[in-house]
Structure 1
Amino acid sequence: MIWILVLDLLYWRECRRSGLVFGGLQLLLLCLTQFSVVSVCAYIALATLSTTISFRIYKSILQAVQKSDEGHPFKSYLEVDVALTPAQMSAGVEKIQLYATCLLKELRRLFLVQDLVDSVKFAVLMWLLTYVGALFNGLTLLILALVAVFTCPMVYEKYQTQIDQYLGVVRTHVSLVVGKIKEKVPGAKRKEE
């Protein structure tokens, strides 16, 4: 259910909602480049409080002028149960435990060189990330990732056949190069199962 909503946002099925989410996240990241996290959180809280207090006062004045008895404007939201059940907490903790265990096993496999080729690929990736880290800070990378997440699915959906064709050519060349490297590096061949 949530994945469908996320995909609808990323594929811009509802342009207004996608634009609001993208713009809000982009504004948040840009604010974080200028202000501290504490300041940004405080400003967001103050803006939200100002909006809700103003709306509450407006509705109270409107009820007094119209002599209506509508009650609290946020009553339906105040009555929503936000408590997490023990089952929901257990399920969340189990998922976190599963992901953490998989991550630790994979890192152990890479750092203790269970497969030489995979460890070398990881080393090359980390070496490339040192250059990326020298060029960009973390927030810049988050901004670029946000733009990519909101644009790449649309571009791929529109130009899928051309992109798949070029990716096939790239995969073929990469597999040829990796095959040649595996032939020349001792111990790089995987064991046959």
Structure 2
Amino acid sequence: MAEPAGEAAPQADGVSEEAAARPRGFRLLGEDKSVHQALGGGKAADVLLWKDKKTSAAVIGGATVLWVLFEVVDYHFLTLISHVLIGVLAILFLWSKATIFIKKSPPDIPEVKISEDLAVNVALALRTDINQALHLLREISLGHDLMKFLGVIVALWILSEIGSLCDFLTLFYVAVLMLHTVPILYHKYQDKVDHFAGKAHVELSRQYSVLDAKVLSKIPRGPAKDKKQN
């Protein structure tokens, strides 16, 4: 009985070593951050990771219907909204009138209001995101982080190229599809993606070091500001 246990011990140690070594590798989201946490950890994360399959399918289906109506059928936004409201109001009006003749209770239409708490929470969330974006732009403008500057420039250039190939609605539809496919694929193949991302990060860091040594370090800089004497 001792020999099988002894043979199994190296395998268990090997597995534990791999599991212990895995978190120390390069992680796109950080050591202790999961995909669900990176997406906010709430209902939105559940929808994007298809944990709430009905809602996820409804979002994809709704976005597809809107894209087909506006891009394929060539519907206009105001025309669609007007037709939908005409249909809904006509059905509810006729239903309410019909209940008088058939002697049944009228439809129970709830009163919908936007609460003050909801409006404040949305405004606070937008305020936080906008402030973070403005802070990032300020840091880049002041020249504090060259990597962020290059990353933002490349992202904006890619966005401009994509915008020249398709309109805003198509871009929005593609973004919805990517939000419902990329996170779940990354969650499923996270180890492989992080492995290749780690290699790319090492190579980019090496290229940046070469660029910094040959070019950036030779750029003349202004004199540092003297600290105020007390």
TM value normalised by structure 1: 0.69
1:23 is matched with 61
C-alpha distance after superposition, 1:1-58 (max 9, x if no partner): x953222322223433322221012211332332332223223323443554465567
User: 1-side partners of 2:79 and 2:215: how far apart?
Assistant: 53
User: Partner of 1:127 in structure 2?
Assistant: 157
CA deviation map 1:41-79 (0-9, x unaligned):
223323443554465567x27x92xx6x5x33324x23x
Cα separation, 1, equivalents of 2:51 and 2:91: 28
RMSD, aligned CA: 3.3
Which residue of 42, 47, 51 corresponds with 1:4? 42
TM-aligned CA distance change 1:11 to 1:92, over 3 Å: closer
**Superposition deviation, residue 168 in structure 1:** 2.2
Which is higher, the Rg of structure 1 or of structure 2?
A: 2
2:135 corresponds to 1:105:
yes
CA offset digits 1:100-151 (Å, max 9, x no partner): 3333333233345444443344333333333222222222211111111112
The residue identity in structure 1 corresponding to 2:186 is Y
Aligned to 1:84: 115
Cα pair distance change 1:109/1:131, threshold 3 Å: same
Residue equivalent to 2:193 = 163
Tell whether the 8 Å contact from 1:115 to 1:188 is kept in structure 2 after alignment: no
Give the secondary structure class of the aligned counterpart of 2:56.
helix
Matched-pair identity in %? 22
1:74 equivalent in structure 2: 108
Q: Secondary structure at the match of 2:162?
A: helix
| Deviation larger for 136-145 or 176-185 | 176-185
Residue 42 (1) aligns with residue 82 (2): yes
> Higher helix fraction: Structure 1 or Structure 2?
1
Aligned twin of 1:149: 179
Counterpart amino acid of 2:80?
A: V
Q: Distance in 2 between matches of 1:184 and 1:158?
A: 41
1:74–1:187: structure 2 CA closer, same or farther, 3 Å change rule? farther
Q: Is the 8 A contact 2:163 2:171 kept in 1?
A: no
- Measured against aligned partners, the alpha-carbon deviations of 1:162-184 in whole angstroms (never above 9, x if no partner) come to 22222222222222222322222
Does residue 138 (structure 1) correspond to residue 168 (structure 2)? The answer is yes
Gaps of 5+ in 2: 1-39, 220-230
- Separation (CA, whole Å) in 1 of partners of 2:63 and 2:156: 28
Aligned partner letter, 1:130: S
Q: Normalising to structure 2: TM-score of the pair? A: 0.60
Distance 1:91 1:38, change over 3 A: same
Q: Distance in 2 between matches of 1:188 and 1:150?
A: 45
Partners of 1:186 and 1:165 in 2: CA distance: 29
Query: Do 1:117 and 1:188's aligned partners in 2 also have CA atoms closer than 8 Å?
Result: no
Between 174-183 and 47-56, the greater mean CA deviation after superposition: 47-56
